[in-house]
Structure 1
Amino acid sequence: MALTTRRRAVTTIAAAFAGAVAVPSYAQAAERGNGPRPLRRAHAHNDYLHERPLHDALSHGFTSVEADVFLVDGELLVAHEPATLDPTRTLRSLYLDPLRDRVRANGGAVYRGYRRPVQLLIDIKTDGAAAYLELHDQLRAYRSILSTYSHGGVRHGAVTPVISGDRAARVPMEAQRTRYAFYDGRLEDLGSAARASFIPLISGNWTTSFTWLGVGAFPAAERVELHRVVRTAHRRGQRVRFWATPEVAGPARDAVWTELLDAGVDHINTDDLAGLESFLTKNDR
């Protein structure tokens, strides 16, 4: 399958939520010598497992990173499972502090000259409601760099935290009149009453919705469904991400990434930072 290089339009509503008003092009940013080209579709899955959490992803131009957190003795620790918890690896030390330092150094943006928010996807592994309330208290100290919801309106910042994982976090979030984070919805939230100001992101498990893993032709009915999901989300100003897409480098992975790109999926999920950077640099022009 030939890799598509078509430029894809972002819907007016989705662009508004992303804060994409008069955003410099990627080529312009690169010409200014400001480091890697920001890749608006690149999402670093389990980012904290890389040698340099956050920094490795940003060095490859990623504009969305994912951190799993556990609430332990009143602190949010970053880890994939309880056996690997380390009290020195906190959300603040690995993500919030470095992001604040970078935004301050870059004149109010994570990437100098790039005015879309960078997404920090925070996957709460356990104790959803309690962990979220602790997170809310922590995020308050970083509110100057964060996208914020207050009394029905959204103010866009350099970083947009989005809460995923334990669904119990939704209850306290919906009750707040002021939030420093947003909610990661699921496919069943498509077309629901929840607005993009609460659910800006719709995420789904690829293998739950689709049988195709990049070998052979993409079944026509599945392609129609993929485009329907993206179209429905974009109409409401929501972005789309799938996890559990193929990770082994090769033609099958590229085929799936090509279909995601062609459908307009907003965040392509990977652990292979260099691989996705190379793919998007060549194909998402």
Structure 2
Amino acid sequence: MRTRNLKKFCCMLGMAIPVIAAAQQPDMHSRFEQLMFGERQSATVSVRGHSHNDYKQDIPFFTAHYAGMESIEVDLFLYQDSLYAAHEKKEIKQGLTLERTYLQPLASLFEKNGGKPFAEPSKQLQLLLDFKEDYKKLMPPLLSLLESYRFLVDPQLSKTPVKIVISGNMPPAQEFEKFPSWIYFDGRPGITYTAAQQKHLAMISDDLKSYTHWNGKGVPAPDALRRIQHQASQAQMMGIPFRLWGTPESVNTWLTLEKMGITWLNTDHPVTLKEYIGSLASSRYRSAKAYEVYQPSYNSDGKDASNVKNVILLIGDGMGMGHVQAAISANRGQTHMSQMKHIGFSFTSSFSPGNTDSGAGGSAIATGQKTFNEHLSVDTNGNALPRIPSIIRPQGIHSGIITTGDLSDATPAAFYTSHKDRNASEAITESLTRTNDIDILIGGKPGAYQDAGKWQTLASGLRANKFALPNTKQEFVSNRSEKAIYFLSDSLTKPVKDGRGPILAEMLSATIAKLNNRDKGFFIMAEGAQIDWGGHARDMEYTLTETQDFDLAVGEALRFADKDGRTLVIVVADHETGALSLLDTDWRSGYVHGNFASNDHSSMVVPVMAYGPAAQDFTGFFQNTAIFDRIVALFQKNGDEIGESKR
């Protein structure tokens, strides 16, 4: 798929994309740019951030506020008639008062945000005031101070008031009703609160050490786990959240606390917690139901290489081991890929510094030579390289190219043309008016050809090169032409999560039917292009639904391989996208929680899975160029001798 030079296009397109999207249906390049640079998916989550001992931050209040923490904790002492934020009285610093550090900034934000503590209308804020001295000493000056800020805290004066919550040396529950209705308290487990007292409760809190000495790794012991879950459920029955203080800080801790029913996640690092909470909606996915997985016969698997007649190469663009394992988990423990017994790993580096792009990654597989990023099946000097379809064509072997992305994108294009610039979409597409190496091509129409004049010119050239141009799936399936290019409609290239059906599996099956029994065999490259797009968007639902869709195509290939007996199926990736790791999975419910460490390609090795005769040749660790070498060697061994070496 297409991964543009980020620095070159970020500033140019960042502000324009919303306008383009509003004016017309965006082309595939614009959709990709939106994913790469747009806002991440947001949704309601069950946990919120609590800035613990906030006054110790380098920038108190503002660090937590701009990190979206909805609870801010302030320890209070009374000193010279003012309420100061400090953990101990000896730590009191001039100017660090409740009013100056918290209430005055809040008043300014209320004015700026139209009477809200946050610009986001869904966010609310509470100040947890931890009394370090007796409430009888601190409560009167606090109430007096808050009179000047009633517009911030009184629900009768604000639709989104800041909730004032008293903790620490607070009044007993019997005295709650003595205070204004907008004063709330931090309750404790084991106390039976009346209905009237519950109206003053903002939360129930307890010390983690009351239950366990858990260090945040793994999960607490079963007994401690049950006790914490019980207290959390008791608080939830009262309609209020439960909090544990003294908790470790780590992703695993936050995950486990959420599972136990904890709402407020304590942190001394608000910015780090912001990133974690902000990614929750887009990093989780639960599949509604499992799809049926074909069980291979293995009759031809691992047989002698002389049996190979056909090769089906399936490229999951951006698919790493994290993606494969996530797909297995989402489908309740089984996928077509996981039925494949011969497993290898491919190194994906290019000649460019940093990680490969799809141009260099696809070219290495298509030509057997590494090149620079943004190059397309040319060597480092820009000279065109022979590709698998052009090398095997003299032997009477026919080829098909299928993608769920733009047909001029790097991965499919690497198999049918050569160019110094993978982004030269029109030149790449127009090369199809001259090629004689490919029989079937299927993919999205490049954006330039939304222009009627350009499309008519291109279509005339393609027809002159004897390509049929069916407009629908039905036309493609029924068309009897030797050569065909099917440009998929927008509805067939939109994401699976937005309603696209299993077009990759359907078109693979149809292409196999068209190429099977022609001359001496066939080669098909089928690409799951939008796995990569989901990784760039750091969107687990997008990533996983595309990976599962790709796996359905793998299933079609395995079915045919069993039926045919002379077909080798190879599943690879051109690179990994997103640096995806898995934080939590549940095979029983199809749940996956991942973490994308990046929104771009990574340098991780990618899996190679093979099935059928010669599958054993694709095990172990090897460079991505070896995939080309082994495919070509198989066709050379079993067909007529190729007249010219690829070198």
Which residue in the other structure is 1:94 paired with? 101
Which residue in the other structure is 2:177 paired with? 174
Larger CA deviation: 254-263 vs 108-117: 108-117
Give the 5 Å matches for 1:32-71. Answer: 41-71=48-78
Report the CA distance between 1:84 and its aligned residue: 1.6
Pick closer, same or farther for the CA change 1:157–1:170 going to 2, 3 Å: farther
Residues 1:104 and 2:104 are matched in the alignment: no
Which residue in the other structure is 1:164 paired with? 167
- Hey, what's the Cα distance between the residues in 2 that align with 1:216 and 1:32? 32
Residues 1:207 and 2:209 are matched in the alignment: yes
Deviations 1:101-144 (A, max 9, x none): 10111011111232443011011111321201110111121111
Pick closer, same or farther for the CA change 1:97–1:40 going to 2, 3 Å: farther
Q: Say which SS state the counterpart of residue 136 (structure 1) adopts.
A: helix
Deviations 1:201-244 (A, max 9, x none): 11111111223222344322222222221211111111111110
- Hey, what's the Cα distance between the residues in 2 that align with 1:203 and 1:246? 16
Deviations 1:139-188 (A, max 9, x none): 12111121459xxxx98633101001113476654323x34321111112
Residues 1:183 and 2:190 are matched in the alignment: no
Residues 1:193 and 2:200 are matched in the alignment: no
Which residue in the other structure is 2:135 paired with? 128
Q: Say which SS state the counterpart of residue 70 (structure 2) adopts.
A: strand
- Hey, what's the Cα distance between the residues in 1 that align with 2:95 and 2:155? 28
Task: Give unpaired runs (5+ residues) of structure 1.
Answer: 1-30, 248-252
Pick closer, same or farther for the CA change 1:81–1:230 going to 2, 3 Å: same
- Hey, what's the Cα distance between the residues in 2 that align with 1:117 and 1:147? 14
Report the CA distance between 1:192 and its aligned residue: 2.7
Q: Say which SS state the counterpart of residue 187 (structure 1) adopts.
A: coil
Deviations 1:87-113 (A, max 9, x none): 421100000111111011101111123
* Paired amino acid for 2:169: D
1:138 to 145, 162, 172: 145
Report the CA distance between 1:39 and its aligned residue: 9.5
Pick closer, same or farther for the CA change 1:43–1:222 going to 2, 3 Å: same
What is the aligned length? Answer: 241
- Hey, what's the Cα distance between the residues in 2 that align with 1:32 and 1:256? 26
- Hey, what's the Cα distance between the residues in 1 that align with 2:160 and 2:218? 42
**Is the Cα contact below 8 Å between 2:51 and 2:71 reproduced in 1?**
yes
Report the CA distance between 1:269 and its aligned residue: 0.5
TM-score, normalised relative to structure 1: 0.75
Q: Say which SS state the counterpart of residue 238 (structure 1) adopts.
A: coil
Pick closer, same or farther for the CA change 1:227–1:171 going to 2, 3 Å: closer
Greater RCO (CA < 8 Å, at least 6 residues apart)? 1
Report the CA distance between 1:259 and its aligned residue: 1.2
Q: Say which SS state the counterpart of residue 114 (structure 1) adopts.
A: coil
Larger CA deviation: 121-130 vs 219-228: 219-228
Pick closer, same or farther for the CA change 1:55–1:217 going to 2, 3 Å: closer
Report the CA distance between 1:66 and its aligned residue: 0.6
- Hey, what's the Cα distance between the residues in 1 that align with 2:159 and 2:172? 22
**Is the Cα contact below 8 Å between 1:129 and 1:169 reproduced in 2?**
no
Larger CA deviation: 37-46 vs 97-106: 37-46
Pick closer, same or farther for the CA change 1:126–1:56 going to 2, 3 Å: same
Q: Say which SS state the counterpart of residue 120 (structure 1) adopts.
A: strand
**Is the Cα contact below 8 Å between 1:261 and 1:284 reproduced in 2?**
no
Pick closer, same or farther for the CA change 1:142–1:270 going to 2, 3 Å: same
**Is the Cα contact below 8 Å between 1:66 and 1:121 reproduced in 2?**
yes
* Paired amino acid for 1:200: A
Report the CA distance between 1:284 and its aligned residue: 5.5
Q: Say which SS state the counterpart of residue 43 (structure 1) adopts.
A: strand
Which residue in the other structure is 2:445 paired with? none
Pick closer, same or farther for the CA change 1:234–1:155 going to 2, 3 Å: farther
- Hey, what's the Cα distance between the residues in 2 that align with 1:275 and 1:39? 18
**Is the Cα contact below 8 Å between 1:115 and 1:158 reproduced in 2?**
no
1:232 to 228, 231, 234: 234
**Is the Cα contact below 8 Å between 1:203 and 1:241 reproduced in 2?**
yes
**Is the Cα contact below 8 Å between 2:75 and 2:85 reproduced in 1?**
yes
- Hey, what's the Cα distance between the residues in 1 that align with 2:55 and 2:102? 9
Pick closer, same or farther for the CA change 1:93–1:39 going to 2, 3 Å: farther
Give RMSD over aligned pairs: 2.8
* Paired amino acid for 1:130: K
* Paired amino acid for 1:140: E
**Is the Cα contact below 8 Å between 1:47 and 1:67 reproduced in 2?**
yes
Q: Say which SS state the counterpart of residue 188 (structure 1) adopts.
A: coil
* Paired amino acid for 1:74: D
Pick closer, same or farther for the CA change 1:98–1:270 going to 2, 3 Å: same
- Hey, what's the Cα distance between the residues in 2 that align with 1:218 and 1:112? 38
- Hey, what's the Cα distance between the residues in 2 that align with 1:155 and 1:125? 29
Pick closer, same or farther for the CA change 1:70–1:232 going to 2, 3 Å: same
Pick closer, same or farther for the CA change 1:68–1:217 going to 2, 3 Å: closer
Task: Give unpaired runs (5+ residues) of structure 2.
Answer: 1-37, 283-647
- Hey, what's the Cα distance between the residues in 2 that align with 1:131 and 1:233? 27
Which residue in the other structure is 1:271 paired with? 268
